[in-house]
């Protein structure tokens, strides 16, 4: 093995030894470093499901490990000298520019779709670290990138399964809620057939009843659709009101009132994902209510965060199991799947939001979503 002086930052040709791979080892406790044989390094590269890349401070690709061919199909030299703006999708460029903290000293993780050589898109997890060359203070960004397509597909499958489960559970309450206006409409039509007067009044009542059914069925269809991936500024109050329209029938069956307090706030989010979060948490709160009562949703701004508190008057959650909530398949409900809160946490992670579970002083529990304002 070729010997290299310990603590050296350059090789015998005066070239930098900065490399994303740990190429050097201390053999048998000797006082010098030895370079690993090329066949070992090549084996590691060929069998890796991830690759390393190094970028300049301005975002130009300086180095790509050979394993990029396993993930994206490119040779390393195909991307050398290219800006990250030539590699990423436009939406991911905006996402990275908005979310990346240039001053952070810790690894930052992003989930993005990277185009492969066939122009198909691969879901990848990108961990980016900022490194400073000590002698010249040159800034480098080192990115560890791995293919998480299978993980994403599994997540999406679980989300679809849970969405259909929720739709089925809500169906009984919604059917009951739709049957009442249908009965009213049928009665008014029979009156009109009999030739009664006051047609305008009856027409207005029938239109109102039809609009109620439209609202409920639209939200039900929204729940059944696959989640989107389209973030923009959305009205928090509007999203919550839409969700409550869908959940009111179930709440009514259990004599539970749903109430919203607080001022309007806009958040940068994907509407379908955040509605799924609210449905999961509020539905759980309704199911936790063993007696008639009220669920209060409070919106407030705290420093640079938006707090969304969903407080119920149920029996509360045993402190011994609070830390287990959100684990796959853990549930305190007889008919529960244990996936609802796990999916909720995953969706919140995509928005850099957090979920806290608190015990109320008097009765019930509060699920607090903490959402970054900017």
Q: What is the pLDDT of residues 111-150, one digit of tens each?
A: 888 888 888 888 899 999 898 888 888 999 999 999 888 8
> Residue 25's pLDDT is what?
43
The class level of CATH for 37-147 reads alpha beta
Higher pLDDT, 147 or 225: 147
Higher pLDDT, 165 or 240: 240
> Residue 344's pLDDT is what?
84
Question: Which letter, b or e, does each residue of 95-128 get, where b requires 16 or more Cβ atoms within 10 Å of its Cβ?
Answer: bbeeeeeeeeeeebebbbbbeeeeeeebbbbbeb
263 Cβ partners below 8 Å, 6+ apart?
299, 300, 301
Rg from Cα positions in the chain:
28
19 Cβ partners below 8 Å, 6+ apart?
none
Q: What is the pLDDT of residues 278-325, one digit of tens each?
A: 988 998 889 888 888 999 999 999 888 899 999 998 886 666 554 545
Where does the pLDDT of residue 34 fall: very low under 50, low under 70, confident under 90, or very high at 90 and above? low
102 Cβ partners below 8 Å, 6+ apart?
130
Identity of the highest mean pLDDT range in 41-50, 146-155, 234-243: 234-243
- Using CA atoms, how far residue 244 sits from 47, 122, 171, 212, 221, in Å, is 50, 36, 15, 13, 15
Higher pLDDT, 62 or 45: 62
> Residue 352's pLDDT is what?
83
CATH topology of domain 152-372: Heat Shock Protein 90 (3.30.565)
* Torsion, Cα of 313, 173, 226, 372 (10° steps): -20
Q: What is the pLDDT of residues 333-348, one digit of tens each?
A: 544 444 567 778 888 8
Instruction: Give yes or no on whether 37-147 and 152-372 have one common fold.
Output: no
Query: Distance between CA atoms of 106 and 36, rounded to whole angstroms?
Result: 28
- Using CA atoms, how far residue 307 sits from 262, 288, 319, in Å, is 10, 22, 22
Q: Per-residue pLDDT averaged across 45-58, rounded?
A: 83
β strands within 59-102, DSSP E: 61-64
Domain residue ranges in the chain? 37-147, 152-372
Q: What is the pLDDT of residues 148-196, one digit of tens each?
A: 888 877 777 777 766 666 666 676 667 766 777 787 777 778 777 777 7
Query: Distance between CA atoms of 366 and 277, rounded to whole angstroms?
Result: 15
> Residue 320's pLDDT is what?
53
> In what helix (H) or strand (E) does residue 230 lie, and over which residues does it extend?
none
3-class state of residue 309 by DSSP: strand
Percent of the chain with pLDDT over 70: 75
């Amino acid at each position: 093995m070729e010997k290299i002086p310990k603590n050296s930052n350059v090789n015998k040709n005066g070239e930098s030894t900065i490399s994303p791979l740990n190429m050097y080892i201390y053999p048998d406790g000797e006082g010098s470093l030895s370079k690993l044989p090329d066949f070992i390094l090549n084996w590691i590269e060929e069998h890796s499901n991830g690759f390393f890349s190094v970028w300049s401070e301005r975002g130009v690709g300086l180095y790509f490990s050979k394993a990029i061919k396993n993930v994206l199909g490119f040779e390393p030299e195909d991307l050398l000298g290219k800006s990250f703006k030539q590699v990423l999708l436009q939406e991911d460029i905006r996402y990275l520019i908005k979310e990346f903290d240039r001053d952070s000293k810790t690894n930052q993780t992003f989930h993005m779709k990277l185009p492969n050589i066939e122009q198909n898109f691969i879901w990848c997890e990108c961990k980016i670290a900022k490194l400073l060359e000590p002698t010249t203070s040159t800034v480098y960004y080192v990115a560890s990138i791995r293919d998480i397509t299978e993980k994403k597909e599994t997540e999406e499958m679980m989300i679809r399964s849970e969405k259909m489960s929720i739709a089925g559970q809500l169906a009984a309450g919604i059917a009951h809620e739709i049957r009442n206006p249908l009965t009213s409409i049928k009665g008014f039509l029979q009156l009109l057939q009999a030739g009664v007067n006051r047609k305008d009044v009856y027409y207005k009542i029938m239109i109102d009843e039809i609009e109620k059914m439209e609202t409920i069925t639209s939200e039900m269809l929204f729940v059944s659709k696959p989640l989107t991936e389209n973030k923009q500024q959305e009205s928090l109050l509007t999203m919550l009101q839409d969700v409550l329209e869908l959940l009111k029938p179930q709440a009514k069956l259990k004599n539970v009132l749903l109430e919203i307090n607080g001022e309007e706030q806009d958040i940068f989010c994907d509407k379908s994902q955040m509605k799924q979060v609210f449905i999961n948490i509020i539905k759980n709160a309704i199911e936790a209510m063993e007696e008639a009562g009220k669920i209060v949703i409070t919106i407030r701004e705290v420093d640079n965060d938006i707090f969304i508190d969903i407080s119920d008057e149920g029996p509360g959650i045993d402190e011994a199991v609070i830390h287990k909530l959100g684990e796959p398949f853990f549930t305190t409900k007889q008919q529960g799947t244990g996936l609802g809160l796990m999916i909720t946490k995953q969706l919140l992670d995509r928005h850099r939001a957090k979920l806290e579970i608190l015990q109320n002083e008097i009765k019930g529990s509060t699920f607090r979503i903490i959402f970054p304002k900017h």
